[in-house]
Structure formats: structure tokens, C-alpha cells
Amino acid sequence: MTLYLQALLGIVVFIALVLPMSSNRKAINWKLVGIALVLQFVICALLLKAPVIKEGLLYLNQAVGALGAATLKGSAFVFGYVGGGDTPFTVTNPNAVVTFAFQVLPLVIVMSALSALLWYWRILPVVIRGISWVFERALGTRGPSGLVATANIFLGQTEAPLLVRPYLARMSRYELLLVMTAGMATIAGSVMVIYSAMLGEQFEGVLGHLITKSIMSVPASVLFAHMMLPDDSGSSQDLQESPRIYQSAMDSITRGTSDGLALFLNIIAILIVLTAFVALANSIVSFLPAVAGEAVTLERIAGWIFAPIAWLMGIPWSEATTAGSLLGVKSVLNEFIAFIQLTTVPPEALSDRSRLITIYGLCGFANLASIGIQISGIGTMAPERRGDLASLAWPAFVAATLGSCMTGCIVGIVAG
């Protein structure tokens, strides 16, 4: 019961933290805030507790396994045993021949091409329209910004705004904030599959949780974006049709593959650089005096800073430093490194419930690098709005971070 009360307190605290940043606290529509909060509980309960939906999400996990096996065939054909093919020597330690870059990450390329094909076949647009209809009726998220917020469940933070590129220049500041917040609070479908493959052995049905978290993040984004800019929450533009991006099935496959390759190379480069930076930072802080008999590291410092946030999400204090360290790594570096570190956390360090809450807290693009990515990416599509994008970047980062933490509170309450 204490942990549930912690999570409820966390929800109140996270909402209260936004009040000083609001442009007009008196204009906040508390009915909208309440609806957005209740909607997150409903989504979480439906997707995790309803038998039919729960079974469907489990089948999705099996589909990811099949997609991973198929991808391994392709990587083995191209890279040989480095990509998962038969080895020309006797293997005594199977883990020693598993290469992350050539056996796991190629799934990003395949998923990107598949997503593009599903978009051309009008399957993804129908799904996105269906979900956005629900949010439009419940929260009033109509127009281009509502479409982008929903599309971020499946697309990346710079890919989704491409769907409404002609409308970006005329968006209100609230609409831009909602677009940026939703982009940081969710993860793209391509990397969602990667995280599912990474965490699948440790947490059964993890893909269903990642999907649930991304859908919950839409009302969470609306909640915090509205609280920050409550006096500018209208939409002056209507969007009738989802734009056609690809000209043919082959065009979607080739362009999706090209986009996936760019993401593949970007992930590799980021992992190399950020891992090196973490190692460099740890070598510098290692000169500091030991604390509690252990050397000071970047991860431990992050744990101390973010431990209270982890506790407010409903994680016991004995585990809060471990979870807080991962939340700090995600916020300062990125969620990819945080998820990799989560896979190495011993079972006794985090209970299954705390691990689930942590997964929800980590699942999102809210990190310092995303601020630059959004200003650059969306700014390229609407250069006349660069000033607004720059001024809204930090509020979007804070809103997306708090939104992810709130979903962690809610899943801890619902999942038990």
C-alpha cells in the first residue's frame, strides 16, 4: 500500500512541478488535466488487463521474434558468422560471437522498411487515425498537431512532423510544444522493436508494455503541454487526409531501407561516442574520494540525483538509486544506453515491479541530444519557426520527462 501511495504522491508532485513554468496558471483547464490523467489509467488498464488485448500484445511479441529471426537470416547472408551465421570454428562461449551491431541493430533497417510499406498500404494511417479520433474526442487534439502527437506512437520525433510539413509554419506555440513534447515522450516503432528484442529475455511481453507506454504518452503530453501554455491551446488548421509519402510499394521499401540505414549508422556512432564519453567522465571522477566504500562514477551521481524521482514513481527507496541512475543516464545521454545498462542490472537489484516502472520511465526520446535534433529537424521543415522551437525546447524536454515518469507511476498502480 505504501508504494501505491508513493506513486499517487508522485503524480501530484509531477503536476505541481509544472505550475511555476506555466505561462498562465489561472487559464489551466483542470477538467482537461483530469481527463488526460484518467485516460492514461484507462489505456493502461485496457492494454494490460483486458484478456483479448493482452493476448494480442503477446502475439505481437511472437511476431517480433519472427521478424528478428528473419532479419538474422539477412545479416548472416551479408556478414557471415559475425552477423549470426555458422561459424568456421568451434564455439565454446556462444555469447562471445554475438555482435550487437551486426546481429541486433539490423532489425532497425528491416523495421524501418516494413513501417514504410505499411504506411504505403494505408495500414498505419488507418491505425493512427483511429487512435487520434479517440484522443480528439476526449482531449480535443484536433488538426495537424493531434495527428503528429498520435503518429509519434509509431514514428520518430523528426519523421512524424514530416506528415504535416506544410502546416508547421502556421502552428500556434501550443501546437508546436505538443508536437515536440509527444516526440520526446515516445519512441519510434523501429527502435521499439530493438528494445523489445534486448529486454525480451528478462521481461516477458515487454513489447506490449512499450506500446502501452507510447500510447499513454499522448494524453500525458497533452496534459503537460496544456499546463505550460494553457492560454494558447486552440487549433486553427484542419487536416483532412493523411498525406501520401511514397509513390509505390518498391519506393516505400527502398526509402524506408535508406532511412533505416541512416538510423542504424547514427545509433552505432552515438553508442561509440557516448560510451567513450561516459568512460572518460568516469576516469575523471574516479579521482574523487570514495563514498560508502565505493568509487564515485557518473552512474552513481545520476542515481543520487534521480533517486527521489524514482521513489516518487513508486519504487522502494532501497532500489531507487539503481533506477535513478538509469533515469539519469537516459536524460543526459539517451535511452538506448540506459536500456543496455538495464539488461546488466542483477535481478536482486530491482524487483519485477520496479523494473517495469523503470522501463516506462526510460521509454522515450527525452534527452539533451533530442533538443538539438528537434530544433534542427523541425527547424529545417519550418525555418521561420526556429526561434519558437528554440524557446520551447526546454519546456518540451521537461514536459516529456515528467510525462514518462507519470506513466511509470500509473503502470505501477495498475499492474500491481
pLDDT tens per residue across span 297-329: 877 888 888 999 999 999 999 999 999 999 998
Q: How far is CA 310 from CA 74, 80, 114, 327, 363, in A?
A: 40, 43, 36, 8, 14
Residue 197 lies in a domain: yes
How many alpha carbons fall within 13 Å on the CB side of residue 79? 20
Task: Please state the φ and ψ torsions of residue 149, each to the nearest 5 degrees.
Answer: -60, -40
Quote the pLDDT of residue 340: 87
Confirm if 361 and 404 have CB atoms less than 8 A apart.
yes
Quote the pLDDT of residue 96: 61
Q: Give residue 240's pLDDT band: very low, low, confident or very high (50, 70, 90).
A: low
Residue 124 lies in a domain: yes
Q: How far apart are CA 378 and CA 335, in angstroms?
A: 21
pTM of the predicted model as reported, rounded to 2 decimal places: 0.84
**DSSP track, 266-315:** HHHHHHHHHHHHHHHHHHHHTTSPPBTTB---HHHHHHHHHHHHHHHTT-
* pLDDT of residue 365 exceeding 60: yes
| 297/177: higher pLDDT | 177
Determine the Cα angle at 130 with ends 226 and 257, to 5°.
95
Quote the pLDDT of residue 300: 81
Q: How far apart are CA 23 and CA 252, in angstroms?
A: 42
For the chain, the average pLDDT equals 85
Residue 372 lies in a domain: yes
Q: What is the mean pLDDT of residues 181-194?
A: 85
Residue 81 lies in a domain: no
Quote the pLDDT of residue 233: 56
Residue 63 lies in a domain: no
Cα 84 → chain centroid: 28
Residue 59 lies in a domain: no
Percentage, residues of the chain above pLDDT 70: 93
Give the count of beta carbons closer than 10 Å to the beta carbon of residue 318. 10
Residue 208 lies in a domain: yes
* pLDDT of residue 242 exceeding 60: no
Task: Please state the φ and ψ torsions of residue 291, each to the nearest 5 degrees.
Answer: -120, 125
Determine the Cα angle at 231 with ends 230 and 233, to 5°.
70
Q: What is the mean pLDDT of residues 60-67?
A: 75
| 411/137: higher pLDDT | 411
Q: How far apart are CA 378 and CA 167, in angstroms?
A: 12
List the domain range (segments joined by +) for residue 190: 2-49+105-415
Residues 6+ apart with CB under 8 A from 235: 142, 143, 144, 145, 146, 172, 175
Q: Give residue 30's pLDDT band: very low, low, confident or very high (50, 70, 90).
A: very high
Quote the pLDDT of residue 155: 78
b/e for 266-275, b at 16 or more Cβ within 10 A? ebeeebeebe
Which amino acid, one-letter code, is at 19?
Answer: L
Residue 34 lies in a domain: yes
* pLDDT of residue 94 exceeding 70: no
Quote the pLDDT of residue 408: 94
| 354/277: higher pLDDT | 354
- DSSP, collapsed to helix, strand or coil, labels residue 323 as helix
Cα distance between the two ends of the chain: 10
Name residue, grid cell 498505419.
Answer: 124
Count: domains in the chain: 1
Confirm if 415 and 221 have CB atoms less than 8 A apart.
no
